[in-house]
Amino acid sequence: MLTRTELFRGLGDSRSPRSATVLELLFDIVYVFALARLAGRVGDDLTIVRHTLLSEAGQTVLFFTAMWMIWSLNAMLASTYDPRRTDLQVVLLATMFGTLVLAVTLPQAFGQRGVIFACTYVVIQVGRPLFLTVALRGHAGQAVSVRVLAWHLASSVLWISGGISGGLGRGVFWTLALAIELIGAATTYPLPRIATKQLTTSGVTVSQEHLAERYNQFFMIALAEVVLESGAAVSFPGFSTAGTITLVASFVAVVSFWRIYFYHVGHGRAASPSGEGIQLSRWASYSLLLIVGGIICTAVGFGQVIEDPHPPIDWALVAIIFGGPVLFLIGRSALEKESRNAPRCRALYYGALAMVVAAPVMVLLPPVAVAASAAVILAGITVYDQQAHKRGAETNPTL
């Protein structure tokens, strides 16, 4: 029988491969379903009574951020240690099943399934750092896991309390819990008795190439949501003039998103010490959070126009159709690491400003014209970005 030491031997000194593993791609399959669920919630938010719109949208943002926290921390885990190890594969598979449970409970997470959602989320977020804390015993890298574990234990109390309380209390408790996790990630999970310098002297390296590839793969999954939403909306009752125009507009948006994301690039290093790697992951993670959120909003907006192309258009739908690209452009620009020698490009910020300026006028146009206008403006931003900065060949964005 294997002892604990034999079971986890070499974990701390293992290295993540440069490319993502097949298991990680399998893990992303669950997020195809999860993103579809989240897109469905956004669509529902647009059709409910106006006085409850903000609260419903707030719930959707909370779920989206919580699901993203799980994915980003798992991407960081697989980019730090070797995901081909049996013990880490067990962790990834367990997280995959837990994420599937969360996606299933999303429609009723603020209803009858609140306890299931909260307990499952806590098991995932506490279980991962707990495993690493035990497995890395005696290794310098254990300090990082202890930090993460302490912060998630603190937030778990609020998650469970919210699941039990229900009603308004659930939203308050869960918002506070998620805020704790976001603050912890933003400050690299500080603990009074564990010095910050330990993060950079833990002897653990983060593969930036692996992490960047995981982000690129997730971006493609999110991009597919635009195709799924628009294609599904057109499939029934079938092609129409308005539906065809909007479908073409959605395709133009997909191509623009792809072109901007993969051609608007910088170059990073292959690996970095764990402390710097955590900071890079945090910075890149928040950027991709905006990128994916913007793509989902765009997907839902075009799908809604195809389903109901008749004027007048609702102001909330205009905000979704134009707000989605704005989030994407801000997130993609922020994904660049700024330095003194290579200042961050402002072209995408100018594009976001153009979308914001054009949005108020759109409430006067038919829904189909709004969708087409958004696609045309986005395509123009893409052309301007490529011509103004002479970007090279397609490259996987690095951190």
Based on the fold, state whether residues 338 and 248 are members of the same structural domain.
yes
Q: What is the dihedral of CA 394, 216, 179, 40, to 10 degrees?
A: 110
| pLDDT of res. 391 | 56
Q: How far apart are CA 269 and CA 60, in angstroms?
A: 35
Region 134-154 average pLDDT: 88
Which of 104-113, 263-272, 276-285 has the least mean pLDDT?
A: 263-272
Region 80-97 average pLDDT: 93
Whether residue 243 lies inside any domain: the answer is yes
Whether residue 182 lies inside any domain: the answer is yes
Based on the fold, state whether residues 280 and 265 are members of the same structural domain.
yes
Q: How far apart are CA 209 and CA 399, in angstroms?
A: 8
How many domains is the chain partitioned into structurally? 2
Based on the fold, state whether residues 155 and 33 are members of the same structural domain.
yes
Q: What three-state secondary structure class fits 205?
A: strand
Based on the fold, state whether residues 223 and 119 are members of the same structural domain.
no
Based on the fold, state whether residues 212 and 197 are members of the same structural domain.
no
Whether residue 141 lies inside any domain: the answer is yes
Q: What three-state secondary structure class fits 147?
A: helix
Based on the fold, state whether residues 245 and 142 are members of the same structural domain.
no
Burial code (b: 16+ CB inside 10 Å, e: under 16) for 336-360 equals beeeeeeeebebbeebbebbeebbe
Q: End of a domain among 203, 220, 242?
A: 203
User: Which is it for the CA torsion 67, 68, 71, 72, positive or negative?
Assistant: negative
Based on the fold, state whether residues 290 and 159 are members of the same structural domain.
no
* Residues 260 and 385: beta-carbon distance below 8 Å: yes
Q: Which two tokens stand for residue 35?
A: 């993103």
Q: End of a domain among 148, 172, 203?
A: 203
Whether residue 394 lies inside any domain: the answer is no
Q: Is 126 left (phi over 0), alpha (psi -120 to 50) or beta?
A: alpha
Region 253-276 average pLDDT: 69
CB atoms within 10 A of CB 48: 12
Q: Is the pLDDT of residue 319 over 70?
A: yes
| pLDDT of res. 228 | 85
Name which residue leads in pLDDT, 219 or 202.
219
Q: How far apart are CA 263 and CA 116, in angstroms?
A: 42
Which of the four pLDDT bands, split at 50, 70 and 90, describes residue 390? low
Q: Is the pLDDT of residue 84 over 80?
A: yes
| pLDDT of res. 2 | 46
- Which residue blocks in 136-191 are alpha helix, DSSP H? 142-165, 167-186
Whether residue 154 lies inside any domain: the answer is yes
Q: What is the CATH number of the domain that holds 328?
A: 1.20.1410
Region 275-285 average pLDDT: 58
* Residues 102 and 121: beta-carbon distance below 8 Å: yes
Of residues 153, 151, 130, 154, the one with CA closest to residue 142: 130
Q: Which two tokens stand for residue 7?
A: 């079971």
Question: Cα–Cα distances in Å, from 127 out to 2, 120, 162, 396?
Answer: 21, 10, 19, 32
Based on the fold, state whether residues 312 and 192 are members of the same structural domain.
no
* Residues 76 and 206: beta-carbon distance below 8 Å: yes
Based on the fold, state whether residues 128 and 40 are members of the same structural domain.
yes
Q: End of a domain among 183, 203, 223?
A: 203
Whether residue 399 lies inside any domain: the answer is no
Based on the fold, state whether residues 165 and 273 are members of the same structural domain.
no
Name which residue leads in pLDDT, 367 or 58.
367
Q: Is the pLDDT of residue 122 over 90?
A: yes
Whether residue 120 lies inside any domain: the answer is yes
| pLDDT of res. 160 | 96
Whether residue 115 lies inside any domain: the answer is yes
| pLDDT of res. 276 | 45
Based on the fold, state whether residues 226 and 96 are members of the same structural domain.
no
Based on the fold, state whether residues 238 and 189 are members of the same structural domain.
no
Domain that holds residue 113: 4-203
| pLDDT of res. 24 | 92
Give the β-pairing of 205-207 and 271-273. antiparallel
Q: How far apart are CA 55 and CA 43, in angstroms?
A: 14
Q: Is the pLDDT of residue 150 over 70?
A: yes
Q: How many residues does the chain have?
A: 399
Strand ranges in the chain using DSSP code E only, listed in sequence order? 205-207, 271-273
Digit-coded pLDDT (tens) for 324-366:
999 999 998 887 765 444 556 678 889 999 999 999 999 999 9
| pLDDT of res. 274 | 46
